[in-house]
A and B are shown apart, each in its own frame.
Chain A
């Protein structure tokens, strides 16, 4: 029974969403929209509460007596002071903590990725593909120089080559985006045609 109800509910919501484009903006579409917003918003909070807040309060503080974890809880609550004008500045405190931890990890770990990518770019210039590859990397880097004038002279030529590489990449990215978005629609049509109407099974 549950599977049947689930299937018809899925079909109903699919038609509600498609009605926006296949017909026009309507109440059914907006109803489907708010169901999605409501469920995902609530789900995000439930998952975070169940996986972080509850274990911290019940186990870390309640059972293991790590009372200092009250401090980060209070710090997190400071973020809600943004809704209250006068004391809103308190929200900067947890942001400072997150920025500090984030900056620390970036400085500690990101250089390894950076240098490994540079190392991987040093290819032997013994094949046409390798030459094109290295020219591509260098020219795109020059394209993104903003502190040097790349509008004239040899740098202009290099910058233009970089632009060509970027345009080729964006063209490929567009094609990949089409593939990605169409596949989502495919999934919906497979559901409607094969699961609901049992066609092409």
Chain B
């Protein structure tokens, strides 16, 4: 029952969606399953919050590291959540808080990676082997070519960059894509036939 019921649901929904979408038969049935899938997925939106709350409540209880920040986190999260649920996401204050906090914070966090890249360029990017040299040379060419200064000083870098991006890079990415697509198709067939049950150990 614990494994059979989910499997039956998987096979029935997959077959219905496949037949309705591929053959255009009874599209309303597939749409209804779509809607069920979407609504049930939406209900899980608070899953992360439950986990977050559980972890930080434990930290607060045992006065672990930065337990004071855990309190601040829960206050901010639930405060903003309540504001959004009561006033709606189009509320002026809600939008202002989002634009004043999440937007710059999100951007700045990812900006940290620029520093790490620069540090890694000096400390880690070593031409220690033939493969490393083959990796380094196109990297340097594309770095030159994508910068207007590089193209201005050495115009051929722009052409070489265009060639690298259009020919070998696309060829390799397409091959990777074909492999990944084939893998996705085979995984879908294995799920349909019951050989793969990714949910089989879930919840235990």
Contacts and interface: CB of A to CB of B under 8 A. Distances in A.
A and B touch in the complex (CB under 8 A): yes
Given A176-B142, A177-B117, A76 B172 contact: no
Interface in B46-102: 46-50, 52, 54, 66, 69-70, 72-74, 76-78, 80-81, 84-85, 88-89, 94, 96-102
A100 interface: yes
B85 A182 contact: no
Contacts of B187: 103
A10 B100 contact: yes
Nearest to A9: B100
A100 B113 CA distance: 38
A109 interface: yes
Contacts of A163: 131
B76 A38 contact: yes
Given A13-B108, A76-B43, A184-B111, A136 B73 contact: no
A80 B45 CA distance: 10
A201 interface: no
Contacts, number: 379
B202 A113 contact: no
Interface of A: 2, 5-6, 9-10, 13-14, 17-18, 20-21, 27, 30-53, 56, 69, 71-73, 75-77, 79-83, 85, 87-111, 113-114, 117-118, 120-121, 129, 132-138, 140-141, 144, 162-179, 181-182, 184-185, 187-188, 191
Interface of B: 2-3, 5-18, 21-22, 30, 33-50, 52, 54, 66, 69-70, 72-74, 76-78, 80-81, 84-85, 88-89, 94, 96-102, 104-115, 117, 121, 131, 134-143, 146, 163-165, 167-179, 181-182, 184-185, 187-189, 191-192, 198-200, 202-204
